[in-house]
C-alpha cells in the first residue's frame, strides 16, 4: 500500500466546538435502501419544526460551523424541508442538503433556492437499488450525476457535490469518476468518496458497561465477505494511475491513530481538458486561517462563483510550492491568461477503523456531529444512541476472558 506521511500535509483544524460542518437529521425516513447505510429507515420519523429548531439552537450554543448538512434519511422526504432550510439560513449558516435526489424536481429546487439553500451533496452510487439504475456500474451512474449537476447549474448559484460509498468491487471505478468530474469541473465542485464500513461480532467483542452485547440488531452490523478496511491511501494509489501527480493537501487524523487519514482532502486547479496542478498544505492553511480570521469559522463550502476563480489561488504561489508549480504549468500556454481556471475538491473519508487491540479509531474533530438528547454525538453511530443510550465500547476478541 502507498505510504503517505501525514506530516507532509496540513492538519485540518476542526474540533468539537469549532468546525466546518454540523449534521442535522430532520428525519430517518428514506425513499431508497442503500448498502452500507448507517441509519435504519423509519417511515414515521419526521421531527417537528420545533424539535429541529431546538437542535439548531444547541448547535449554535455549543459549536461554531460554516455549514449544516441537512441529512437523514433523506431530508427531501420531510414535508417542511423548505422551512428547515430557512431555519438554518436565518442563523447565518450555509444550508447543505444531503440527498439521493430522488424527490428533487425543478420546482422544489427553485423553492429551496429562494429559501436560502447553499448547496447539495448528492449520494449516488451503484448499490442503492435505485429504480431504473439497477445493475449499472459507477461509470454508468455518471449520466445520473450529470443530470443533477445540470439541474443545479440551470438554477444557478448552488454548490454541487457528489458522494459515493466505495466498496471492494467498486473502488476500481474511482479514477474514472474523478476523470468525469474533471470533464465537468465547471459545474461539479466537490467529489467525496466514503470507504465502506460494517461491523459484526466476528471482529471484536462489544460491551455496554460491564455487559457483553450482540450487535446483530443494528443496521450497520453485516456479515460480509468483502473488505471493510479499505484505506484512504489505497484510493490515492489508484488515482495516481491516471493522475501521476495527484497529491492531497490536508487531512483529519484518527482519534486513536495520529498517522491515519480519516478525511483526506485534495484541491486541484484546472479546466475540462487539463489539470494544471494542485493546492499544497500551505495554500490550504492560508485559506482556512484567513477565512476563520474574518468569519470566525472554518470554510466548508465555497460559492460556485469562487470555485470559478481558480486563478485567484495562484496568488498564493510565493507561499506554496505546489501552487507555484501549477502557475508555471498554467503559463506554458500564454493564452490561458484569458481563460477561466477552476478549483475542484476531492475528499476521501475513511470511517471508523477497529485497531488490533479493539479500540475504535474515530475521526478526531469529526465534522458530522449531530444532536441527540441535547448533546453532541457521532452521526455515524446514532443507532447505538437509539438502542443503548450511549456508544458501545469494543475490545479485542477474548480480551476479557
Q: What's the CA gap between 259 and 229, in Å, rounded?
A: 16
| Distance between first and last Cα of the chain | 34
335-359 residue pLDDT tens: 998 999 999 999 999 999 999 999 9
Q: Which residues contact 349 (CB under 8 A, 6 or more apart)?
A: 192, 193, 194, 195, 232, 262, 263, 264
In a domain, 401, yes or no: no
> How many domains does the chain contain in total?
1
In a domain, 2, yes or no: no
pLDDT of amino acid 369: 98
In a domain, 5, yes or no: no
The pLDDT confidence band at residue 392, using thresholds 50, 70 and 90, is: very high
Cβ proximity of 185 and 272 under 8 Å:
yes
Which domain CATH number covers 290? 3.20.20
The pLDDT confidence band at residue 199, using thresholds 50, 70 and 90, is: confident
Is the pLDDT at 125 greater than 80? The verdict is yes
Q: What is the CA radius of gyration of the chain?
A: 21
pLDDT of amino acid 203: 77
Is the pLDDT at 297 greater than 70? The verdict is yes
| Stretch 302-308: mean pLDDT | 92
In a domain, 1, yes or no: no
pLDDT of amino acid 220: 66
In a domain, 6, yes or no: no
In a domain, 176, yes or no: yes
pLDDT of amino acid 38: 85
Q: What angle do CA 246, 247, 253 make, to 5 degrees?
A: 140
| Stretch 54-75: mean pLDDT | 98
9-23 residue pLDDT tens: 999 999 999 999 999
In a domain, 257, yes or no: yes
**Buried/exposed code over 273-311 (b: 16+ C-beta within 10 A; e: otherwise):** eebbbbbbbbbbbbbbeebbeeeebbbbbbebeebbebb
Q: Which residues contact 159 (CB under 8 A, 6 or more apart)?
A: 96, 118, 119, 120, 189, 190, 301, 302, 303, 304, 307
Backbone φ, ψ for residue 207 (5° rounding):
-130, 140
| Stretch 29-51: mean pLDDT | 93
Q: What's the CA gap between 278 and 243, in Å, rounded?
A: 11
| Stretch 264-274: mean pLDDT | 98
pLDDT of amino acid 226: 84
Cβ proximity of 300 and 13 under 8 Å:
no
Whole-prediction pTM:
0.97
CB atoms within 10 A of CB 146: 15
204-237 residue pLDDT tens: 899 999 999 888 777 666 667 788 999 999 999 9
In a domain, 132, yes or no: yes
| Stretch 239-243: mean pLDDT | 96
Backbone φ, ψ for residue 212 (5° rounding):
-75, 135
pLDDT of amino acid 40: 87
Residue-range definition of the domain harbouring residue 94: 11-396
Cα–Cα distances (Å) from 283 to 10, 252, 288, 323, in that order, read 9, 16, 9, 7
Kindly report the average pLDDT of the chain as a whole number: 95
Residues in the chain, total: 401
Q: What percent of the chain has pLDDT over 90?
A: 88
Using the structure block, give the residue that is written with the C-alpha cell 465500547. 393
Backbone φ, ψ for residue 58 (5° rounding):
-65, -40
Amino acid at each position: 500500500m502507498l505510504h503517505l506521511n501525514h506530516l507532509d500535509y496540513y492538519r485540518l483544524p476542526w474540533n468539537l466546538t469549532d468546525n466546518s460542518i454540523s449534521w442535522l437529521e430532520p428525519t430517518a425516513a428514506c425513499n431508497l435502501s442503500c448498502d452500507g447505510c448507517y441509519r435504519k429507515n423509519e417511515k414515521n420519523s419526521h421531527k417537528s419544526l420545533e424539535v429541529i429548531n431546538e437542535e439548531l439552537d444547541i448547535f449554535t450554543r455549543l459549536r461554531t460551523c460554516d455549514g449544516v448538512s441537512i441529512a437523514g434519511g433523506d431530508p427531501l422526504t420531510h414535508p417542511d424541508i423548505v422551512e428547515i432550510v430557512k431555519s438554518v439560513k436565518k442563523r447565518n449558516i450555509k444550508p447543505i442538503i444531503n440527498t439521493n435526489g430522488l424527490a428533487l424536481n425543478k420546482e422544489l429546487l427553485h423553492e429551496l433556492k429562494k429559501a436560502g439553500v447553499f448547496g447539495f451533496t448528492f449520494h449516488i452510487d451503484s448499490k442503492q437499488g435505485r429504480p431504473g439504475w439497477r445493475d449499472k456500474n459507477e461509470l454508468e451512474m455518471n449520466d445520473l450525476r450529470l443530470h443533477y449537476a445540470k439541474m443545479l447549474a440551470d438554477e444557478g448559484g448552488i454548490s454541487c457535490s457528489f458522494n459515493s460509498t466505495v466498496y471492494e468491487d467498486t473502488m476500481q471505478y474511482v479514477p474514472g469518476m474523478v476523470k468525469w468530474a474533471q470533464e465537468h469541473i465547471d459545474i461539479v465542485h466537490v467529489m467525496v468518496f466514503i470507504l465502506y464500513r460494517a461491523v459484526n461480532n466476528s471482529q471484536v467483542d462489544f460491551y455496554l458497561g460491564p455487559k457483553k452485547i450482540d450487535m446483530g440488531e443494528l443496521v450497520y452490523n453485516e456479515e460480509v465477505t468483502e473488505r471493510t478496511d479499505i484505506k484512504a491511501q489505497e484510493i490515492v494509489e489508484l488515482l495516481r494511475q491516471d493522475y501521476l501527480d495527484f497529491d492531497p493537501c490536508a487531512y483529519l487524523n484518527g482519534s486513536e491513530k495520529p498517522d491515519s487519514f480519516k478525511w483526506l482532502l485534495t484541491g486541484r486547479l484546472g479546466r475540462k481538458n487539463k489539470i494544471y496542478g494542485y493546492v499544497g498544505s500551505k495554500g490550504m492553511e492560508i485559506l482556512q486561517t484567513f477565512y476563520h480570521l474574518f468569519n470566525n469559522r472554518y470554510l466548508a463550502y465555497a460559492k460556485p462563483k469562487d470555485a470559478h476563480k481558480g486563478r485567484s489561488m495562484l496568488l498564493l504561489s510565493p507561499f506554496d510550492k505546489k501552487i507555484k508549480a501549477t502557475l508555471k504549468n498554467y503559463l506554458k500556454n500564454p493564452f490561458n491568461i484569458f481563460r477561466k481556471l477552476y478549483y475542484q475538491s476531492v475528499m476521501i473519508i475513511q470511517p471508523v477503523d477497529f485497531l488490533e487491540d479493539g479500540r475504535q479509531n474515530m475521526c478526531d474533530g469529526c465534522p458530522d456531529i449531530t444532536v441527540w438528547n441535547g448533546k453532541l454525538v457521532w452521526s455515524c453511530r446514532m443507532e447505538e444512541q437509539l438502542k443503548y443510550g450511549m456508544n458501545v465500547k469494543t475490545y479485542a476478541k477474548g480480551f476479557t476472558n
